[in-house]
């Protein structure tokens, strides 16, 4: 009996390793392709603006299909959907590596994105049904969550040498051997699971309406600054968002088996956790996406050196994630998440002291503090989402969590990029009004203008980091309203 239990325990951790491989590969692809864009632009003879659609198309397709895969996994089997998604992702990767122009690249990236979006909801659901005990589940979800950070860091580290030595196509083709390994592991270790409730109807109209809303939302977040937030294009997107949302809600209220069960949003624990997750990721993505730009623009780092700065961040998150899991059952979830959010806010705030004289440690320490805070609360958030919904709907619940993370990151980047640019303009006017130059020498005038521009930009970055940290700090208090029925130190929490 003991031997059987040990064998089962070993299989659990092999399953965890399997989904980590899939998650890592999918997220690695998202970060690594951005490094290849300059080479792709040169080879295809396209503009930077046109190349932006390579990323935009991927983001759009990924966002739209996450809930569809989550529902399909609950319906026809999570292992089946996971393997199919992984297989199509590899096919899309190979095709992208063989693309011959911008149109073919965008088409193959969409294939990649559609397939890649299957990973998150199915992987989380697989882990949730594999690790049934609360504390063990939280530890597994925490370790799995750390693979997101690892992928963000290793993207630049692996991508740079691959591109330099083997060309940009290698960043796509490398997915073939790694992907085949992931599929082999999935076939060997993952057990099939699906909802016990037999599905007789698939909500295609709901999926279409949700897809229309998400497409419009992600598109305006990605392109809104370039278009102008009050431009005709942006206004059309706003109208489509509202229209599709209204249609979607009406459909979901009336279909027998909705693609997104709206009753989830009547569960306070579910809503509070999503709200906290949204705020944390909005502040983190909105603030941290500026760090590589700052390092390369003002500190003189190249892209590879800027990537090295993020290695300690990954280590901090990978260290913190299991720590958060171990706190399950010892400290109430809301206090763990609250503390983690406060630490993340502190890490973001520490960036506000950056200037052109800053060294590597001035970036590494705040990144590590922020990542540690984010890491030890991540497993708790994920575990709550898995615990407060019926087991047969874990897939779609996890897809909602994935959607919130993706959208919050896009919202954060859009908001803080706009704040940064507006603040720079305001700072230039303000600094200039209080400055005087008593010289007509052209070189002195150029230095004067350059110093004003430098001061304006540095102050703008500081302002953005302060705003981001304040948002995350205030958002931390939302989780204190979280109440889980019968949460004790020795039981697994479940809310029907």
The per-residue pLDDT for range 341-380, each reduced to its tens digit, is 999 999 999 998 888 888 889 999 998 998 888 878 877 7
Q: How far apart are CA 256 and CA 333, in angstroms?
A: 33
Section 82-98 average pLDDT: 91
Stronger pLDDT, 428 or 238, i.e. the higher one: 238
For residue 301, give the DSSP letter: -
Q: Per mean pLDDT, which of 124-138, 404-418, 455-469 is the most reliable?
A: 455-469
Fold matches, 1-198 and 260-496? yes
Provide DSSP, 407-460.
Answer: HHHHHHHHHHHHHHHHHHHHHHHHHHHT-------HHHHHHHHHHHHHHHHHHH
Q: How far apart are CA 146 and CA 314, in angstroms?
A: 8
The per-residue pLDDT for range 122-143, each reduced to its tens digit, is 887 788 778 776 667 767 777 7
And the tokens for 159?
């991508």
Superfamily of domain 260-496 in the CATH hierarchy: MFS general substrate transporter like domains (1.20.1250.20)
pLDDT score at 94: 93
Q: Answer whether residue 70 shows pLDDT above 80.
A: no
Q: Answer whether residue 77 shows pLDDT above 60.
A: yes
Q: Are 258 and 99 in contact (CB under 8 A)?
A: no
**201: three-class secondary structure by DSSP:** coil
Q: Answer whether residue 119 shows pLDDT above 60.
A: yes
Stronger pLDDT, 261 or 239, i.e. the higher one: 239
Q: How far apart are CA 73 and CA 77, in angstroms?
A: 5
And the tokens for 254?
């009336």
Q: Are 138 and 325 in contact (CB under 8 A)?
A: yes
Q: How far apart are CA 30 and CA 318, in angstroms?
A: 19
What percent of the chain is modeled with pLDDT above 70?
Answer: 88
Section 304-310 average pLDDT: 75
The per-residue pLDDT for range 176-195, each reduced to its tens digit, is 888 898 889 888 888 887 66
CATH class as words, domain 1-198: mainly alpha
Confidence band, pLDDT 50/70/90 cuts, at residue 496: very low
Q: Are 102 and 86 in contact (CB under 8 A)?
A: no
- Sign of the torsion formed by the C-alpha atoms of 208, 246, 224 and 461: negative
Q: How far apart are CA 489 and CA 273, in angstroms?
A: 20
Q: Answer whether residue 250 shows pLDDT above 50.
A: yes
Cα separations in angstroms, 449 against 420, 441, 442, 460:
19, 13, 11, 16
pLDDT score at 197: 58
pLDDT score at 491: 34
| Torsion angle of C-alpha atoms 25, 26, 31, 35, degrees rounded to 10 | 70
pLDDT score at 495: 33
pLDDT score at 490: 36
pLDDT score at 377: 80
Q: How far apart are CA 319 and CA 343, in angstroms?
A: 15
Confidence band, pLDDT 50/70/90 cuts, at residue 1: very low
Q: Answer whether residue 37 shows pLDDT above 90.
A: no
Q: Per mean pLDDT, which of 212-216, 260-264, 382-386, 388-392 is the most reliable?
A: 212-216
Q: Answer whether residue 48 shows pLDDT above 70.
A: no
pLDDT score at 492: 39
Confidence band, pLDDT 50/70/90 cuts, at residue 474: confident
pLDDT score at 488: 40
Lowest average pLDDT, out of 2-16, 308-322, 443-457, goes to 2-16
What percent of the chain is modeled with pLDDT above 90?
Answer: 9
176-205: burial string, b at 16+ Cβ within 10 Å, e else: eebbeebbebbeebbeebbbeeebeebbee
Give residue for tokens 């760090």.
291
Nearest to 140 by CA among 231, 23, 238, 240: 23
Mean pLDDT of the chain: 79
> Residue 419 class from Cβ within 10 Å (0-12 exposed, 13-18 middle, 19+ buried)?
middle
pLDDT score at 236: 93
Q: Answer whether residue 493 shows pLDDT above 60.
A: no
| Torsion angle of C-alpha atoms 452, 457, 463, 469, degrees rounded to 10 | -160
Confidence band, pLDDT 50/70/90 cuts, at residue 278: confident
H or E, element range at 229: none
Q: Answer whether residue 29 shows pLDDT above 80.
A: no
The ranges assigned to domains in the chain are 1-198, 204-254, 260-496
Nearest to 85 by CA among 121, 115, 122: 115
Lowest average pLDDT, out of 146-150, 273-277, 346-350, goes to 146-150
Section 214-238 average pLDDT: 84
């Amino acid at each position: 009996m003991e031997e059987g239990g040990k064998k089962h325990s070993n299989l659990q951790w092999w399953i965890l390793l399997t989904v980590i491989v899939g998650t890592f590969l999918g997220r690695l692809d998202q970060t690594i392709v951005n490094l290849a864009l300059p080479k792709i632009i040169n080879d295809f003879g396209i503009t930077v603006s046109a190349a932006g659609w390579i990323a935009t198309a991927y983001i759009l397709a990924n966002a739209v299909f996450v809930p569809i895969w989550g529902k399909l996994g609950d319906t026809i089997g999570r292992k089946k959907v996971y393997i199919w998604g992984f297989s199509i992702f590899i096919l899309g990767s190979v095709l992208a590596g063989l693309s011959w122009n911008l149109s073919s690249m965008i088409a193959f990236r969409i294939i990649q994105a559609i397939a890649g979006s299957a990973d998150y909801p199915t992987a989380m659901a697989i882990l949730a049904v594999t690790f049934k005990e609360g504390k063990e589940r939280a530890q597994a979800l925490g370790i799995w969550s750390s693979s997101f950070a690892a992928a963000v860091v290793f993207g630049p580290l692996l991508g740079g040498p691959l591109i330099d030595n083997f060309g940009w196509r290698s960043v796509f083709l490398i997915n073939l051997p790694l992907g085949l390994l992931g599929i082999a592991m999935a076939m060997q270790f993952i057990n099939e699971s699906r909802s016990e409730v037999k599905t007789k109807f698939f909500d295609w109209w709901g999926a279409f309406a949700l897809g229309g809303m998400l497409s419009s939302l992600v598109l305006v977040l990605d392109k809104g600054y370039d278009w102008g937030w009050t431009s005709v294009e942006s206004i059309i997107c706003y109208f489509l968002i509202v229209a599709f949302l209204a249609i979607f809600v009406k459909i979901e209220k009336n279909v027998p088996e909705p693609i997104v069960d709206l009753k989830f949003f009547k569960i306070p624990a579910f809503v509070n956790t999503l709200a906290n997750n949204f705020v944390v990721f909005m502040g983190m993505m909105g603030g941290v996406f500026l760090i590589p730009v700052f390092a390369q623009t003002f500190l003189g780092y190249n892209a590879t050196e800027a990537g090295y700065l993020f290695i300690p961040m990954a280590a901090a998150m990978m260290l913190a994630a299991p720590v958060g899991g171990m706190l399950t059952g010892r400290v109430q979830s809301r206090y763990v998440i609250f503390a983690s959010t406060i630490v993340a806010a502190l890490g973001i705030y520490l960036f506000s002291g950056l200037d052109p004289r800053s060294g590597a440690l001035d970036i590494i320490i705040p990144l590590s503090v922020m990542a540690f805070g984010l890491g030890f609360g991540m497993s708790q958030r994920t575990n709550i989402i898995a615990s407060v919904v019926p087991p047969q709907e874990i897939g779609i619940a996890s897809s909602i969590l994935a959607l919130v993370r993706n959208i919050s990151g896009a919202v954060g980047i859009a908001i803080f990029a706009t704040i940064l640019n507006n603040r720079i303009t305001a700072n230039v006017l303000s600094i200039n009004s209080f400055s005087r130059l008593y010289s007509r020498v052209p070189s002195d005038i150029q230095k004067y203008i350059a110093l004003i521009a430098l001061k304006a930009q540095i102050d703008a970055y500081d302002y953005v980091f302060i705003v981001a940290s304040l948002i995350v700090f205030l958002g931390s208090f939302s989780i204190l309203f979280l109440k889980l029925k019968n949460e004790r130190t020795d039981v697994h929490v479940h809310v029907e």
